[in-house]
Amino acid sequence: MHGDFISQLSIFVMAVFVGYYVVWSVTPALHTPLMAVTNAISSVIIVGAIIAAGPAEVGLAKVLGFVAIVLAAVNIFGGFAVTQRMLSMYKKKK
């Protein structure tokens, strides 16, 4: 059990570093497609969080699942709002 935690923690830390360097090296022209992919990933997170929040007993998995649902929903709706705002900047004024 202790080895599983260390393994999962190391994967999480590596994912944080990889994500940081990938996002900060993106050119501004690729920001909108990156936001679209991020929203797609968040929708997958919501599905997994709903499954985790599903058991009948209240436990750590249910609480973390609910927190994941809330954070992923904020990310999805915020991402769509930012994308819409960026795309409206490129529309011609009438």
Q: What ranges do the domains of the chain cover?
A: 28-89
How many CA atoms, within 13 angstroms, populate the side-chain half-sphere of residue 9?
A: 6
Q: Which long-range contacts (CB under 8 A, 24 or more apart) does 46-49 make?
A: 46/72, 46/73, 46/76
pLDDT of residue 46: 75
Which residues does the chain have with pLDDT short of 70?
Answer: 1, 29, 31-32, 35-36, 53, 55-56, 94
pLDDT of residue 32: 67
pLDDT of residue 60: 77
Residue 42 in contact with residue 76, Cβ under 8 Å? yes
pLDDT of residue 1: 61
